[in-house]
C-alpha cells in the first residue's frame, strides 16, 4: 500500500511537503498522481517530495517523478526531492535523471535552500 501525506509548510507560503511511503509502481502510480498532480497544477505550489520511505519504484514511478518535476518547472515552481533510499537513487541514476533533480539528504538541507 502507498501512503501519501501532503502538508503546508508552516512558515513558507506556497510550499507543500509531499511524503510518499510504500511503492510507486504500475498499480499505485495512478493513486500517487491523483494526489500530487492537483497540488502542482491547481495550487501551483513549490513542492518537496520526500521519498525516503519509498520501498519500491518501477518505470511508472520514475515517469511520475519526472512528470511532477516537469509540471512544476512549466508552472515556474520548484520541485525538490529529499534523497530516496539507495536503490531508488540507483534507478534514477541509471536512468540518467539524478542531475535533473535537486536532491537533498534530509529535510533540514532542503529547507535551507528556501531561506
pLDDT tier for residue 14 given thresholds of 50, 70 and 90: confident
CATH number of the domain enclosing 72: 3.30.750.24
Which three cell numbers mark 62? 520514475
Q: How does pLDDT run across 61-102, given as a tens digit for each residue? A: 999 999 999 999 999 999 999 988 998 889 889 988 888 899
Distance CA 21, CA 94 (A): 22
> Of 58, 65, 45, 54, which Cα lies nearest the Cα of 20?
54
Q: Identify the domain containing residue 69 by its residue range.
A: 3-11+13-114
Whole-number pLDDT of residue 32: 97
* Reported pTM: 0.91
As for how many domains the chain has, the answer is 1
Q: Are 47 and 80 in contact (CB under 8 A)?
A: yes
With a cut of 80, say whether residue 16 has pLDDT above it.
Answer: yes
Amino acid at each position: 500500500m502507498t501512503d501519501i501525506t501532503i502538508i503546508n509548510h508552516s512558515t513558507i507560503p506556497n510550499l507543500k511537503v509531499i511524503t510518499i511511503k510504500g511503492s510507486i509502481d504500475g498499480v499505485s502510480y495512478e493513486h500517487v498522481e491523483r494526489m500530487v498532480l492537483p497540488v502542482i497544477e491547481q495550487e501551483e505550489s513549490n513542492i518537496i517530495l520526500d521519498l525516503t520511505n519509498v520501498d519500491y519504484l518501477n518505470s511508472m514511478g520514475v515517469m511520475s517523478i519526472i512528470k511532477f518535476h516537469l509540471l512544476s518547472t512549466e508552472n515556474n515552481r520548484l520541485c525538490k526531492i529529499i534523497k530516496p533510499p539507495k536503490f531508488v537513487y540507483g534507478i534514477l541514476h541509471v536512468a540518467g535523471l539524478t542531475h535533473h533533480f535537486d536532491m537533498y539528504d534530509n529535510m533540514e538541507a532542503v529547507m535551507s535552500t528556501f531561506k
